[in-house]
């Protein structure tokens, strides 16, 4: 009866094939001799933090270009610059190349950015008219870029021959 128990024990409780390798890796990790492998989640997080750092630098440059005040109403922000937002004129999700271009940014206070009648989020047409009147050079530059972008996108996607 003892022999059957041993067979049964060895049958179900074998060590995995790579047991020694895993144990050696654990030893190296425990003694700081091997850096732990970075998971995809950690790599994505690092890429995100790099993007956010670049976005913060871009936002500070846009606000500094405007003199740390709102470009629509002229309101000066606090000493810590908390009430000021940097707004992308062309959306950064669609126009990736324009994400960190200073001409694509406008410095706005919270009220003008989110709730006012010239808010780019509430009334894009009024905001575009304001941009055309106050910053004609930037308006023309961004308009020409968006037309070029739309033309290249339309020719590559809509008019490409499809193979059936």
Mean pLDDT value across residues 16-20: 63
Residue 86, exposed/middle/buried by CB under 10 A (0-12, 13-18, 19+)? buried
pLDDT range class, residue 159, cuts 50, 70, 90: very low
Q: What local confidence, expressed as pLDDT, does residue 12 receive?
A: 53
Q: Are strands 84-88 and 105-109 parallel, antiparallel or unpaired?
A: antiparallel
User: What is the pLDDT at residue 18?
Assistant: 64
List helix spans (H) across the chain: 2-12, 19-30, 40-65, 110, 124-134, 136-157
| Cβ neighbours, 10 Å, residue 97 | 11
Question: What is the average per-residue pLDDT within 35-42?
Answer: 69
pLDDT digits (tens, 9 = 90+) for 121-137: 888 888 899 999 999 99
Per-domain residue ranges for the chain?
49-153
- The yes-or-no verdict on residue 40 having pLDDT over 80 is no
Which residue do the tokens 């037309």 mark?
147
Instruction: Judge contact between 145 and 103, C-beta under 8 A.
Output: no
Q: CA 131 to CA 72: how far, in whole Å?
A: 9
Which residue did the predictor score with more confidence, 50 or 155?
Answer: 50
Residue 14 host element (H or E) = none
């Amino acid at each position: 009866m003892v022999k059957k128990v041993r067979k049964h024990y060895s049958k179900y409780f074998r060590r995995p094939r790579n047991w020694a390798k895993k144990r050696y890796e654990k030893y190296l990790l425990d003694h700081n001799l091997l850096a732990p492998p970075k998971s995809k989640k950690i790599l994505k997080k690092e890429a995100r933090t790099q993007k956010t750092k670049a976005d913060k630098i871009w936002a500070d440059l846009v606000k500094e270009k405007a003199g740390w005040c709102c470009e629509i109403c002229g309101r000066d922000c606090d000493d810590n610059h908390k009430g000021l937002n940097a707004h992308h004129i062309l959306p950064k999700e669609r126009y990736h190349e324009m994400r960190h271009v200073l001409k694509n940014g406008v410095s706005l206070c919270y009220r003008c950015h989110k709730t006012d009648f010239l808010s780019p989020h509430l009334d894009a047409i009024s905001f575009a008219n304001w941009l055309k009147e106050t910053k004609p050079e930037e308006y023309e530059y961004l308009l020409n870029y968006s037309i070029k972008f739309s033309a290249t996108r339309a020719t590559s996607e809509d008019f490409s021959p499809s193979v059936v």
